[in-house]
């Protein structure tokens, strides 16, 4: 990586603006993560963004019903590049214990996911570990990765322009 890529990576790593898409108990654990005891602000994610156009990290937490799938995808598509996705909890990652007709069996069926956080619900320490993994990914990502044929093929697999 060049010196410019390292500086840009360091700046991006420490200024991630997450958009929480929380639907159930994982959202409560995320609230604890934002509280004073765990303080996610230490990692540069202090400012939560509830507008997809101002966020660069989509944190999907909890059970996602199939009817919410198109909404989640629209939120993802409205985010500007570069964007990252953190899937928090068993329900967002694989549908969890809800193997029913109405629950999406993993958000990676509709949007690409960068980091998975396991647990039902995951502890705040696990969510912080997921944020740290995202930060490492952001810091080490090449500035040209999003122009690569591999990245474009992966995005096209999801039908995203």
Which residues of the chain are under the pLDDT cut of 50?
none
Q: Helix 25-34 to helix 124-140 angle, to the nearest 10 degrees? A: 70
pLDDT value for 60 = 96
What is each CA distance from 70 to 65, 76, 155, in whole angstroms? 10, 10, 16
Do 106 and 97 meet the contact criterion of CB atoms below 8 Å apart?
Answer: no
pLDDT value for 144 = 80
pLDDT value for 1 = 59
**CA end-to-end distance (rounded Å), the chain:** 27
């Amino acid at each position: 990586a060049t010196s410019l890529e390292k500086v840009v990576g360091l700046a991006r790593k420490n200024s991630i603006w997450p958009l929480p898409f929380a639907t159930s108990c994982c959202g409560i654990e995320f609230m604890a993560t934002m509280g004073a005891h765990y303080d996610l602000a230490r990692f540069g994610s202090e400012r939560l963004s509830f507008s997809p156009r101002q966020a660069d990290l989509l944190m999907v937490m909890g059970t996602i019903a199939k009817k919410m799938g198109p909404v989640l995808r629209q939120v993802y598509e409205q985010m500007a590049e570069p964007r990252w996705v953190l899937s928090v909890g068993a329900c967002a990652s694989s549908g969890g214990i809800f193997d029913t007709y109405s629950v999406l069996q993993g958000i990676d069926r509709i949007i690409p996911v960068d980091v998975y956080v396991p647990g039902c619900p995951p502890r705040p320490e696990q969510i912080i570990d997921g944020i740290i993994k995202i930060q490492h990914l952001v810091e080490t990502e090449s500035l040209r990765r999003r122009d690569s044929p591999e990245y474009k093929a992966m995005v096209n697999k999801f039908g995203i322009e």
